[in-house]
């Protein structure tokens, strides 16, 4: 059964009482909350996701609640708890749904060392996957949102999961996080895109999340072969430019994007080396999304 099978009232009741066992990629997250904006966000953006309540097992148990003090009434706040612990300071109640998204990312990046984990977007098309690592503000999520609205399959907007067994990319398909001007850019680029309401004055500015394509959610069990590593950089007015990147430099930049490279030790080094060897590496500068999509459409699969 998918989340869409529940009415808004049923979803709210389930989140408030027993909790929702949400399957996203290889992980099940048990979510409990009585906060209406979180239920609305889940109902809108996770409608196509399966509910995994058969066994009662979850990889992560998270809860969003108002703190039990005067802030319940005065400038209300929200707390994120993970397995009964509170890892973050409270945020304004209006930021409850973004906090859930950020918290779920934290759960995976900090506790899932069965994978090599990179801060990167991952998309796939015709058997080849592109990995896009980038620091905040580089235009990674904007470019990712544009590509998945132009026939690329979304594996992840934030976290690239690389399987230790075969170096395959494991999907973690979840809503795409858009910030500030990129929200309006994507609304204009793809008027049919489904976005959550905008939340202002967060630590990242104004944020909104875009619903992933249903086809990407359905294929969340299908791994992908890494083919390209592209370091994107949005630069206003820049000419669209795709330039080969030396593999040694790409290796070091990928290490900087990894969450658990050091924890994995020699295995992490070997996995990263295998990943770099398997991919063509580029630096990509852009300012026009239509031109960017055209460049990605022309990428050729590396020789096996």
- End-to-end, the C-alpha distance of the chain in Å comes to 39
In this structure, the strands spanning 280-286 and 226-234 are parallel
- Nearest partner of 78 among 104, 59, 60, 99, judged by Cα: 99
Query: 272 burial class (0-12, 13-18, 19+ CB within 10 angstroms)?
Result: buried
Cα distance between residue 129 and residue 299, in whole Å: 11
Q: pTM surpassing 0.85?
A: yes
284 vs 292: CA distance, rounded Å: 9
Nearest Cα to Cα of residue 125 among 290, 267, 295, 260:
295
Alpha helix (H) residue ranges in the chain: 8-16, 36-45, 96-111, 140-148, 181-189, 214-218, 247-257, 261-278, 289-297
Domain ranges of the chain: 3-112, 115-298
In this predicted structure, what is the pLDDT of residue 56?
85
Phi, psi of 26 (to 5 degrees): -80, 0
With a cut of 70, list the residues of the chain below it in pLDDT: 70-71
Please report the pLDDT score of residue 55 as a whole number.
Answer: 83
CA–CA separation, 141 and 213 (whole Å): 15
CB count in 10 Å sphere of residue 199: 22
Which residue is it, tokens 């196509």? Answer: 48
The confidence score (pLDDT) of residue 142 equals 97
Determine the angle formed by the axes of helices 289-297 and 140-148, rounding to 10 degrees: 70
Task: Give pLDDT, residue 282.
Answer: 98
């Amino acid at each position: 059964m998918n989340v869409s099978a529940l009415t808004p009232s049923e979803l709210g009741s389930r989140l408030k009482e027993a909790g929702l066992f949400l399957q996203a990629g290889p992980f099940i997250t048990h979510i409990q909350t009585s906060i209406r904006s979180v239920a609305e966000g889940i109902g809108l953006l996770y409608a196509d996701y399966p509910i995994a309540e058969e066994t009662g097992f979850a990889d992560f148990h998270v809860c969003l609640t108002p703190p039990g003090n005067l802030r319940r009434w005065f400038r209300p706040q929200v707390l994120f708890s993970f397995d009964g612990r509170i890892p973050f300071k409270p945020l304004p109640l209006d930021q409850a749904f973004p906090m859930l998204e950020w918290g779920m990312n934290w759960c995976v990046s900090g506790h899932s060392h069965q994978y090599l984990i990179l801060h990167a977007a991952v998309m796939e098309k015709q058997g080849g996957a592109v990995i896009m690592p980038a620091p905040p503000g580089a235009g990674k999520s904007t470019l990712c949102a544009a590509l998945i609205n132009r026939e690329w399959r979304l594996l992840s907007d934030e976290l690239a999961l690389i399987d230790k067994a075969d170096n395959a990319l494991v999907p973690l398909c979840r809503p795409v996080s858009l910030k500030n001007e990129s929200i309006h850019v994507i609304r204009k680029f793809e008027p049919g895109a489904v976005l959550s309401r905008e939340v202002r004055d967060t630590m990242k500015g104004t944020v909104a999340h875009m619903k992933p394509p249903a086809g990407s959610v359905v294929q969340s069990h299908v791994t992908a072969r890494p083919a390209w590593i592209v370091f994107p950089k949005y630069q206003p007015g820049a000419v669209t430019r795709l330039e080969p990147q030396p593999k040694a430099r790409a290796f070091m930049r990928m290490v900087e994007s990894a969450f658990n490279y050091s924890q994995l030790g020699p295995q992490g080094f070997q996995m990263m080396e295998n990943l770099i060897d398997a991919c063509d590496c580029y630096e990509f500068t852009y300012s026009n999304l239509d031109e960017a999509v055209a460049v990605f459409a022309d990428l050729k699969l590396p020789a096996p």
